[in-house]
Amino acid sequence: MNPFFSRIMALTAGDRQADRVVPPTGFTVKLTVFTSAAMAFLAVFALALSMATGRLADRWSDALARTATVRISAPEGQMQAQTDAVLNVLSTTPGVSEARVLTDEEQRALLTPWFGPDLPIDSLPLPQLIELTEDSNGYDAEGLRLRLSAEAPGAVLDDHTRWRRPLVRAAGRLRTLGWISILLIGLTTAAMITLSANAALAANAKLIRVLRLVGARDVYIARAFVRRFTGRALQGAAVGTICGMIAVALLPGEDSAGGFLTGLGFKGFGWIIPLFIPPLAGFVAFWATRAAALRVLKEIN
């Protein structure tokens, strides 16, 4: 085992004798545990947000990027001719693997959310939609537009970029914000642990003095405090993480109409990731207390 790991193991195993040396302090313990729990709870949400928006951004850029739509608006009589012309153009365009005319039912399904189910679709001059799917090489959108305008003047190519770009960018930003939140939560935890460790060290100045006088090395004294604060942070973060995960699990499930809001949460193996929050909190507490203790000790003879 590497030395760092074995040190962590030794810490969690505890040293009853050394733990007795630092007297227990009631109220501040509870505050440290509580803050650590609250921070872990928030971290679970920030993590859920980052991961959900990450998935969303991937899905949008993936699903939307691979398809495009050609919309044909033409007078009643020319509709079929132009549709055939467009299909013909598409079938000879390199990079387009498939082109499909949407049926009336599909078009109706697309419109239902906006106009309700009783729409008399037959009586409306609806444009015809053709969905095309790219192959892995992609096609030249500008070239296709030019050819379409020559062959079928009523056809407009919509390659979804217009929709996709701001959405993907927004999702990406949201994900970044999520990670920044996690970083801030970590730093706040470190600051909080440092403050409460400083308070504990100040309250135990006489004890530290006595330990120094009987020949204790700085690391021994620091360890007594570090062990205690790492333990508290671990405990608190474990409780906070479990509560956060339960809260996320109880969020309403994803449904097709709800879009991205209900997608907040973890998927599959994603549930393992929040379990790293308590050890991470312990790690932060370990270094924060150690730094605080060694800094304070330098000023005590």
Partner 1 sequence: MIELDKVAHSYGGGELLSDITLRLAHGSFHFLTGPSGAGKTTLLKLCYGDLMPSAGHVRLFEQDVRNMSRDEVARIRRRIGVVHQDCQFLDHLSLAENVMLPLVVAGKDPAEEEQNLADLLGWVGLAKQAHSLPPELSGGERQRAALARAVIMSPDVIIADEPTGNVDWDMSLRILQLLVELNKMGKTILIATHDLNLIRAAKAQVAARVLRIKDRRVQLAGADL
Contacting positions for partner 1 (CB under 8 A): 17-18, 20-21, 23, 207, 209-218, 220, 297-298, 301
* DSSP structure class, residue 301: -
Instruction: Report, in Å, the least distance between residue 28 CB and partner 1.
Output: 16
Question: 97 vs 46, 85, 87, 182, CA distance in Å?
Answer: 40, 17, 12, 43
Nearer to partner 1, 185 or 201 (CB): 201
Of 159, 156, 147, 138, nearest in space to 90 by CA: 147
Nearer to partner 1, 1 or 213 (CB): 213
Q: What are phi and psi of 116, to 5 degrees?
A: 90, 165
Least distance (Å) between residue 209 CB and partner 1: 8
Nearer to partner 1, 15 or 134 (CB): 15
277-297 and 26-59 are packed helices; what angle lies between their axes, rounded to 10 degrees?
A: 130
Choice between 239 and 293, CB closer to partner 1: 293
> Least CB distance from residue 31 to partner 1, whole Å?
21
> Please, what is the minimum distance in Å from the beta carbon of residue 25 to partner 1?
11
Identify which of residues 34 and 220 has a Cβ nearer to partner 1 in the complex: 220
C-alpha span between 214 and 69 (Å, rounded): 81
Please identify, using beta-carbon distances, which residue of 19 and 135 lies nearer to partner 1.
19
Residue recorded with tokens 């030395």: 3
Among the residues of 104-217, which ranges form H helices? 104-115, 141-151, 161-203, 205-213
- Distance CA(204)–CA(138), nearest Å, equals 69
Exposed e or buried b for every residue in 211-234, given b needs 16+ CB within 10 A? Answer: bbeeebebeebbbbbbbbbbbbbb
Q: CB of 222: closest distance to partner 1 in angstroms?
A: 12
The C-alpha angle 219, 221, 226, rounded to 5 degrees, equals 85
Show Cβ contacts of residue 196 under 8 Å, excluding neighbours closer than 6 positions: 28, 31, 32, 229
Residue 30 CB, shortest distance to partner 1, in Å, is 19
Token pair 């006489």 is at which residue? Answer: 206
* Nearest-angstrom CA–CA distance, 126 and 254: 31
Nearest distance in Å: CB 23, partner 1: 4
Smallest distance, partner 1 to C-beta of residue 220, A: 5
CA-atom Rg of the chain in angstroms: 31
